[in-house]
Amino acid sequence: MTIFVNTLKRIFRNKVQIFFILLFPLAFMSLGFIGQEQTVKVAVIDHDHTKFTADLVRNLKTKAEIRDVKEENISNDLKTLKVDYVVVIKKGFTDDLIQGKEGGITSYSVKESNFSNPVSAFLAQWLNHAQMVVEATQHNPDSFYTEFTNYDQHGAIQLDHKLAVNEGAERTRSVLGYLIISMLYTSLIVGLFIIFNKNNHTLYRTLTAPVKIKTYMLQIVSSFLFVSFIQISFVLLILKYVYKLYLGSAGFSIFVLLLLFSLVTVSFGVAISSFSKNLIQACLIGICLVAPLAMLGGAYFPLEFAPDIIKTLSNFTPVSWVITGIEKLLQGKSLFALGKEVLVLIVFSLIFFLLGTFRKADIAN
């Protein structure tokens, strides 16, 4: 464990390396937000607190960013653009709706702006569907909740919900694609670290002790995997709670899949160190390899309309498999359904690691 601990100390002692590990991915991922439509900021002040109003809020979350405001601050928050649209639901609204009474829900927005029109149209559609269900169930509360739930799942409301989720998933896929590219670039630190140790004879001095080359490499790789764990955790937390990026119910599964991909990137850095004689050569080889790997893998843009030859070549890159895995997770599939993607990523990591350690066996001898 000595090599593991010392490697971590050396990594986090260097401010430039900390920048590339933590801040560079965030800066690079901002490219994924370019060209994306701005999210509408909506506040819901719910005094009713029923299953119906809770379901309304849940569906609004698929179309807008939900924010908290106080009722007395509505006017000021709209003027300062803290929110674009505010919905106030009075107490007893659901009971009145089931009894056939109108009113009970009030909306506020900036008159000069039509930015919140889609949310306003969605709210009107939602209430219209609710009134149709009320009439069909003859104002029976139990029947209303049962039938409205079914209508939400199978009717037009669910269609809007799916469309909104797809828009969020596309943005997430784009942003995470840039995260994957940044992980490939930061993996070069692994190769540079190993070459630096070899050039200043730290590697040779270590091997004169009772330490095998496999033990040395495993501890180096383990230390950088731990760094990747910190990197991925930090970035995903920022994306979810600061940028409000849509992850659906796949947040933890995406985290695990990216951790598995980090095994590939670290092994990729080890492989580069074996084919480079100095730091400059390692940088050039890494940069020349990362760009085509990212493009062929679909990290910059989807390969949906790419020629068949490009799609075939993409299967030979680990990037393509992790991107495919992320897309499946965002579509609602579980991590256990990604058997092929997980297996291929493990194979890639083993290939890169063996390429990286094979030539180092000569050094040990």
Structural domain spans, the chain? 2-34+169-364, 41-154
**Whether the Cβ atoms of residue 247 and residue 168 lie closer than 8 Å to each other:** no
The three-point CA angle 184-270-342 to 5° equals 60
* Token pair listed for 197: 């140790």
Cα–Cα distance, 237 to 318 (Å, whole number): 24
How do the pLDDT tens digits run along the chain, 365 residues long? 778 888 888 888 888 888 888 888 988 888 877 655 567 788 999 999 998 888 888 878 767 778 888 988 998 888 888 888 899 999 999 999 888 888 888 888 876 456 667 778 888 888 888 888 888 888 888 888 887 776 555 444 443 444 444 556 778 888 999 999 999 998 888 888 888 877 776 665 665 666 676 777 788 889 999 999 999 999 999 988 888 787 878 889 999 999 999 999 999 998 998 888 888 998 999 999 999 999 999 998 888 778 889 889 999 999 999 999 998 998 888 899 999 999 999 999 999 988 877 655 444 44
Please, which residues have CB within 8 angstroms of residue 279's CB and are 6 or more apart in sequence?
A: 192, 195, 196, 199
Going by C-alpha positions, the residue among 9, 32, 68 that lies closest to residue 243 is 32
Q: Which two tokens stand for residue 285?
A: 């080889």
213 token code pair: 């080359």
pLDDT of residue 115: 63
Stated as kind and residue range, the H or E segment containing 332 is: none
Spatial separation of the C-alpha atoms in residues 299 and 246, rounded to whole Å: 18
- The alpha carbon torsion through 262, 268, 269, 273 (nearest 10 deg) reads 160
Query: What 3-state class would DSSP assign to 17?
Result: helix
* pTM of the predicted model as reported, rounded to 2 decimal places: 0.67
CATH classification (class only), 41-154: alpha beta
Query: What is the predicted pLDDT for the residue at 151?
Result: 59
The predicted pLDDT at position 162 comes to 41
Residues in the chain: 365
Q: What is the pLDDT of residue 290?
A: 93
Q: Using alpha carbons, list the distances in angstroms from residue 168 to 38, 62, 226, 267, 330.
A: 11, 8, 30, 32, 9
The neighbour count for residue 152, using CB atoms within 10 Å, is 20
